[in-house]
A and B are shown apart, each in its own frame.
Chain A
Amino acid sequence: MITGSIAAIGAGLAAIGAGLGIGRIGGSAMDGIARQPEAASKIQTAMLIAAAFVEAVALFAVVVALMGNG
Chain B
Amino acid sequence: MDCSHLFDFKVNKLIVAFTLFLAFFCVTPMLYAQEDTTHATENSPVHPEQEKKFDIGKFALHHIGDSHSWHVIGDTYINLPVILYTADGFVNFSSADFDHDDEARTVVERKGLRFVKMHEKIYYASATANAEGQYVSLDEKHHPHNARPLDLSVTKNVCTLIISIVILLLVFLNVASSYKKRVGKSPKGLQSWLEPVILFVRDDIAKPNLGHKYERFMPYLLTVFFFIWFNNMLGLIPFLPGGANLTGNIAVTMILAIATFCLTVFNGNKYYWKHIFMPSVPWWMYIVMVPVELFGIFTKPIALMIRLFANITAGHILVLSLICLVFVFNSLYIAPISIAFAVFIGAIELLVAFIQAFIFTILSALFIGMAIEEHH
Residues of A within 8 A of B (CB): 40-41, 44-45, 48-49, 52-53, 55-56, 59-60, 62-63, 69-70
Contact = CB atoms under 8 A, between A and B. Distances in A.
Interface in B340-376: 355, 358-359, 362-363, 366
Most buried by B among A41, A53, A59: A59
Contacts of A69: 57
Contacts of B61: 70
B358 A59 contact: no
Given A59-B314, A60-B306, A63-B306, A48 B204 contact: no
Q: Is the interface of A mostly helix, strand, loop or mixed?
A: helix
B206 to A, nearest CB: 13
Contacts of A44: 1-2
Nearest to A56: B307
B1 A56 contact: no
A41 B205 CA distance: 12
Given A49-B362, A52-B359, A41 B2 contact: yes
9 contacts: A41-B1, A44-B2, A45-B1, A48-B359, A56-B307, A56-B310, A59-B306, A59-B310, A62-B314
Contacts of A63: 306, 309-310
Interface of B: 1-2, 57, 61, 204, 208, 303, 306-307, 309-311, 314, 355, 358-359, 362-363, 366
A69 B56 CA distance: 13
A62 B363 contact: no
Nearest to B360: A52
A56 B362 contact: no
A56 B366 CA distance: 17
A49 B363 contact: yes
Contacts of A62: 310, 314
A48 B310 contact: no
A49 to B, nearest CB: 6
A55 to B, nearest CB: 7
Contact of A55 (B1, B309, B311, B363): B311
Most buried by B among A40, A44, A55: A55
Contacts of A70: 57, 61
A53 B303 CA distance: 9
B257 to A, nearest CB: 12
B289 to A, nearest CB: 21
Contacts of B306: 56, 59-60, 63
The 9 closest A-B pairs by CB, nearest first: A59-B310, A41-B2, A45-B1, A56-B307, A52-B359, A44-B1, A63-B310, A56-B303, A41-B1
A15 to B, nearest CB: 11
B204 A45 contact: yes
A38 B57 CA distance: 46
A55 B308 CA distance: 11
B254 to A, nearest CB: 13
Nearest to B304: A56
Nearest to B303: A56
A19 to B, nearest CB: 14
Contact of A52 (B2, B57, B208, B307): B307
Contacts of B362: 45, 48-49
A7 to B, nearest CB: 11
B299 to A, nearest CB: 11
A2 to B, nearest CB: 16
A48 B307 contact: no
A62 B60 CA distance: 15
A21 B69 CA distance: 42
A31 to B, nearest CB: 18
